[in-house]
Structure formats: C-alpha cells, structure tokens
Structure 1
C-alpha cells in the first residue's frame, strides 16, 4: 500500500463545534450536484419537446437523454481536471470551483430560449451546458470526500465521509420532490410551457448556500501535493488506482441496480404502475438515509474492513433471493427484497469511501481517487442497466440481474479480504 503520511493526515481530534462547517461543506455540494441530476431526469420529456423537437416524441426524449448522457461522458475528464486542481492548489479551491461549474449551467438551462426561439443553437447549448456539468460531477464527489476525510478526526472518518453520499441521495429526493410539487402546482399545460424552468432556477438558491458555506470554511493547506498529480497517478500509482477500482466494482453495480435500474424493472418486468414503483424506490431511499449513519458509526467502532466484508457478503449471497422477492409482484415482498440491497449498500457507503482514500497517496489523492471512482462507476455501474437488460433479453430469466450483482460483489468481496489492508486506530473517539 502506498504511504499516505503527508500534510493531509487527519488530526487525532478536533473540537465538536468545528465539525459542522466541515460536514456542511461536503454535504451541500453533493445535494446541489444530484438535485440537478434528478430535476433534469424528471423533466426530460419536456426538455425533449422544447429543445429537440421532432414529429416522434420518442425521438425527442432520446435526444434529451443523449444530452444527459453527454454529461456522464465528461465525468472522467472532469475527475482528472478537478482532481489536479485539488492536489496542486488545495481542497478548498476545488470545492468552490466544482459547485460553480454545476450551478451556473443549471440556472442557464432554466433561462435558455427553446428551439422555437433560437433554432439549432438551443439544443447545442443544452449539450454544452450538460458537458460542463459533467465536468463538475466528475470532480465534486471525490474531492468533497477527500476533503472531509482529511479534516476528520481519525476515529470519526467514516462518520464524516458518509455525508457526501447522504447529500447525494438527499439531493435526488429533493429534486424529485420539487419536480413533483411543480407538476402539482402549475398543471400539465403551464408546466410544459414554462413551469419546468422553476426547479432549475430554484437551484440557484441551493448553489448560493453551497458557495457561501464553502467560501467560509477554514482550510490551512501548505505543502499541497505533487505538482504533476496526473502523471504521477498514471505512472507511479496506477496499481493503487486499480485496487480501488476492483474494490468499488460491486458497490457501483449495486447502486445502479438497486436505485437506478430497479424502477424500470418494476414497471417493465413486474408490470407495476409507475407511481407504485417510484413510491417503493423512494421509501427504500429514505431507509437508506437512516441506515447510513448507523453503519458509519459501526465502521468507526469496529473498522472499515469488517463492515465492507459484511456488506459484500450479504449482497453476494443475498442477490438471488432478493431478486426473487422483487419479481414476486407482491408489493410487500418487492419492498423487502429491495431493503436487502439497501442494507448491503448501506454497509459499503462510508466504510468503502474511507478505505478508498486510505489506499491512495495524499499527494495525488484527489486525482487518483477521481480516476478510480469514475472508472468503476462509469465502466461497471453506468453500463449495468444495459448489461442486465441484455441478459434478460438473451436468457428470458427475469432474475438473471441478480447473478450480475452476485458476481461483481463476490469479486469485490475477495478484494476486500485479500487486498485491502485496514489502517485504523484501535480506540474509538468518545
């Protein structure tokens, strides 16, 4: 394992009153990032008709999601770009820049004239804005995680780390909630005409709050890391990057199966009404938000490695029975099956995040973590809906996605057992 002893080592303890600004700085940025993710997805059909008009509504929707996908294609580049800023110029600076690069395009989308007003420039500008947001997404989560873990007391690192994923999940729920409220308040006609813009413009309030919180944080960052973090990541620490990727594969696949693909599965395979499918998914995410702090405390108490192993073991052994419950078409069984994935994923969140940071040298940590995390999420998580849809089509077995989950989590379980070495204090902060 690479030496991680640098100026960024976490303090042994900090006063509790100083916890709040550190946690807030990581939390609010991820709320902003994933608020936009949810709002764009919620209004994709309207955006399609406004900016990508076609006689076939399906073509407009596909084009809108194409612009959405363009943002994800920029994530690896954004990870390297913002990671380098964080390693060379400091964590505070990258946190401020990343939220601005998400907030400004979000507001501009809300103000952008549609195709009827400016023609072909409308869809071009939407794609450009989504690409800028993709750059931000590529660096925001990993940079905020690194910042919080490095600022956390050594015995509270999992507790601090969990606020990034907590903020991401809350941001998705906030975006969906505001989108649903806009639909209820404005009605279908006004929503399609101009009401869809309101949630994007409200993103300015979230962004302003985030910017002020991050500008106010006190971060002493002398002796920043390497001056060439991108080169050092690929030529000196590539082995560490691959270890993180292998450890995160099961995590990425589980997230995209349980919280992205499953809504489509419930509607297409189980034939559930859309409202019921969304309610089940929302309920499971609420429980996930409640479980994450508990598993983070356990990871700080007993170590990250045992909690990671527990989560992966639970998922690899439980994936098939969980999916069989989900395919039962009984609402209560579907919900309990998804809760199985929720528990396993909750065990992985903050414990795995701290493990990732431990495995990477601090001098290139923002860059190397961004590369590793975006590779795992992009290659394995992002392709998962496509892979499991293809598996069902080819085999005709509606439970076959479980084997993809079991295989990838089983692989990462072996990495957790034989590759990852725990580095944690033996006492628990009171």
Structure 2
C-alpha cells in the first residue's frame, strides 16, 4: 500500500521553509546567468560580432532549459517512488555543484574550445536538477498545507523564486558598483556564481531535518510505474499544467532576462541601473504572489487565471512598447505591469499543479507538465526573441509571440474545473 508520512512533531513552518528555500538557489543561478549573459558570451564564445556571442550565450541558456524535461522525468519518478524529501535533497546538491563550478571555469582564451563545452555540460546538469526542484517543492509544501490555506502557503515556493532573482539582482548590482562594467566583464561575473555555492550549503542545512509528506510507493504498489501511469491516465492534467505557465513562463525570460541585454547593449543603460529597475519590479512580484495565493483560496483559482489571460492579450504589446523606450521611468512602468500579471499567475501555480494530480503520480505529472513548457518554450524565449528581432528588424516582435502564448493560456484554462479548498486526492 502507499506509505504516507507527515512528521507530527515538526513545526508547521518547517515544511514551508524547507520547501521554499531551494527555489532561492534555483532561480538565483538562472537569474545571474541571464544578467551576465553578455559577459559570458564574450568570454566563452568570442566573436567579432557581439550579436553572435550573445546568441551563443543564450543558446547555452536554452540548452540548460531543454534539459529540464529530462530532469522532470528523473526527479518526478524519484519523488513518487522514494519520497519527496530524497528527491529534493539530490536536486539541490546537483544544482549547487554546477553553479559553483561555473565560478571557477576557465575561459575560451585559457583552455580553448573545452571552455564552452564544459559550460554547456554544467548548464545541462543545472537544468536536470531544476527539472524536479520547483515542482517537487510545490508538491511538498501543498501536501503539508491545510486545504483552505493551500494557495497562500504554497505561494511561498514562488516567493522563494522571487527571492532568488532579487538576491541575484542585488549581488549583481553590488558587484557592478564595486568593480564597474570592465571589472564585471573581466572577472567580477564569477563572484555571484561562487556565492551560489554558499547558498547551497545553507539550504542543505535547512533541509537536513525536513519532514516527509509522502514516503513513496512500495514495490507492491508499482504494478505500473508512476511515469507510465501519468502518461496513460493523466495526460490531460499535464496539458493543463503546461497551459498554466505558457504565458507567464516565457514572459519572465523575455522581460527580465532577454531585456537585460537589450537595455544594456542597445539603450546603453548601465548594469547598475538595469539591476535597480529589476529589484523594484521583482519586489512588486514578491508582494503580488502571496496576495494572489490568498485571494485564490477565497475566490478560486480559475477566475484569476482567466482574467490574467485576457489582460495578457490586451496589455502585452503596449507594455512591451514601453519596455523598449530610452527612459528609465517608462521601462519601470512596463516592468511593473508585467510584474502584476506574472505575480498573479505564479501566486497560484504551486497549489494548482498539486491539485490537478493524485498523490501517487503528483511529482511526476507536475514536473513533466510544468517543465515541458518551461524547458521547450520559456527556456528558448531569450534565444527566439533575439532571433526574431534580428530577422524582422522589429524590436517589438517578441510581443506578438507573448500574445500568442496568452491565447494558449486562455484556451488551456477555459474549461478547467475549480479545485481550490478541496482535499488533495
């Protein structure tokens, strides 16, 4: 029979903290890679054409994301077969090791073609580990949360994501302020990656005594593996999860990752100014996320998902237009608008992905459905945006891509049944 183990003596806050902190490391790493993509491109993919170096750096970013679906298969299976805690511990170790290794990796000028090859391998390892971390943590926290507060409490997993990006922005801003653009490009970009290793040790200490929410399936339960069962019986739910982030996921990587390079290289914003803008907009996301989770507990998830999808169809282009104006104020207004849309969706994501699937396949189904979108659509968004602009000559071309994805979001959730406040199956 299925073994379930929720540790009674543990503090009620322990699962929330232990589950959320891994997201800090996960998204801290991806944030700093995106923010320092221009420097990494020049050092590991040298070219006489700056656009070529930037495209190469974002291609490596996309490769890491492409590994996420594979990681979702691995860590989803581990979470359903051997328990959520074990899967989360393994993922954070792999994540921290890859981040730390980037900090000490020699450049192309030092070891030649081996440098980009090793960088790609490290990004693949990081992508594999990320494939199970976010959804595993979301499932873990949701399984510990009371049904009537599931949206609010599970939203702290996303709050950890925001915290990771804010921390990455802060470390980046301090590094740039202390060393200047030349110092950052030469060697200062390594400092944030090294700090990621320190964060990993902190997370490991916090997770050491985390209670289990689902101890895993015994051998007798596995007449059909979790992976086979989820593809056979729950493919519709996985499609709903993919639609859940079809708009918000790519939005984040276009607005907060791809645009960072645009602001610096085309509009000539300094790294410090870019980081400051991001800190403000990410702070807004941090405020909106728990509010969204709380309101969805009271009024349901579905109305908010549909409302944001409609708003995305209407507001994406004007916000993207403002994002590309040579004015700090206009760029900030654009990012605040996107921040509200993004925060509203992602405040409900952790609870929703847990509610759509039964316990025995929850980790597998959530990880596969979520990472299918994040790996294949969101992860390639910076690369695709760069290509679209180069191909069309229109800096606003990525906005039409986002509008299309807002439509996918709406279609996916138009007929979704409400499950907020109900016990998990």
Instruction: State if a TM-score over 0.5 links the two structures.
Output: yes
Alignment match of 1:407 (pick from 392, 404, 407)? 404
Name the CA shift for 1:376/1:59 in 2 (closer, same or farther; >3 Å). closer
Q: Is the partner of 2:118 in helix, strand or coil?
A: helix
Contact 1:308 1:352 in 2 (8 A): no
Flag structure 1 segments of 5+ consecutive residues without an equivalent.
Answer: 1-5
Greater mean deviation of Cα atoms: 113-122 or 238-247? 113-122
Counterpart mapping for 1:351-370 below 5 A: 351-370=348-367
The alpha carbon displacement at 1:25 in A equals 1.3
Q: Distance in 2 between matches of 1:157 and 1:133?
A: 29
Provide Cα deviations, 1:350-385, integer angstroms capped at 9, x if missing partner.
223322222222211111111111111233323444
Contact 1:30 1:141 in 2 (8 A): yes
- The count of residues paired between Structure 1 and Structure 2 equals 417
Contact 2:173 2:275 in 1 (8 A): no
Counterpart mapping for 1:266-277 below 5 A: 266=263, 271=267, 273-275=269-271, 276-277=273-274
Q: Does 1:298 align with 2:298?
A: no
Alignment match of 2:226 (pick from 221, 226, 229)? 229
Contact 2:15 2:141 in 1 (8 A): yes
Q: Distance in 2 between matches of 1:83 and 1:318?
A: 35
| TM-score (norm: length of structure 2) | 0.84
What corresponds to 1:378 in structure 2? 375
Alignment match of 1:341 (pick from 331, 338, 349)? 338
Q: Is the partner of 1:422 in helix, strand or coil?
A: coil
The alpha carbon displacement at 1:208 in A equals 0.8
Name the CA shift for 1:410/1:92 in 2 (closer, same or farther; >3 Å). same
Contact 1:9 1:150 in 2 (8 A): no
Contact 1:149 1:160 in 2 (8 A): yes
Greater mean deviation of Cα atoms: 370-379 or 195-204? 195-204
| TM-score (norm: length of structure 1) | 0.83
Greater mean deviation of Cα atoms: 293-302 or 104-113? 104-113
Q: Is the partner of 2:417 in helix, strand or coil?
A: coil
Q: Distance in 1 between matches of 2:294 and 2:399?
A: 29
Name the CA shift for 1:97/1:59 in 2 (closer, same or farther; >3 Å). same
The alpha carbon displacement at 1:32 in A equals 0.8
What corresponds to 1:131 in structure 2? 124
Alignment match of 1:319 (pick from 316, 321, 330)? 316
Contact 1:392 1:401 in 2 (8 A): yes
Name the CA shift for 1:28/1:407 in 2 (closer, same or farther; >3 Å). same
Flag structure 2 segments of 5+ consecutive residues without an equivalent.
Answer: none
What corresponds to 2:144 in structure 1? 151
What corresponds to 1:422 in structure 2? 418
The alpha carbon displacement at 1:197 in A equals 3.5
Q: Distance in 2 between matches of 1:284 and 1:351?
A: 19
What corresponds to 1:238 in structure 2? 235
Name the CA shift for 1:40/1:319 in 2 (closer, same or farther; >3 Å). closer
What corresponds to 2:247 in structure 1? 250
User: Aligned Cα RMSD in Å?
Assistant: 3.4
Counterpart mapping for 1:74-89 below 5 A: 74-89=67-82
Counterpart mapping for 1:46-57 below 5 A: 46-47=39-40
What corresponds to 1:3 in structure 2? none
Q: Does 1:286 align with 2:283?
A: yes
Provide Cα deviations, 1:207-230, integer angstroms capped at 9, x if missing partner.
111011111112153453864122
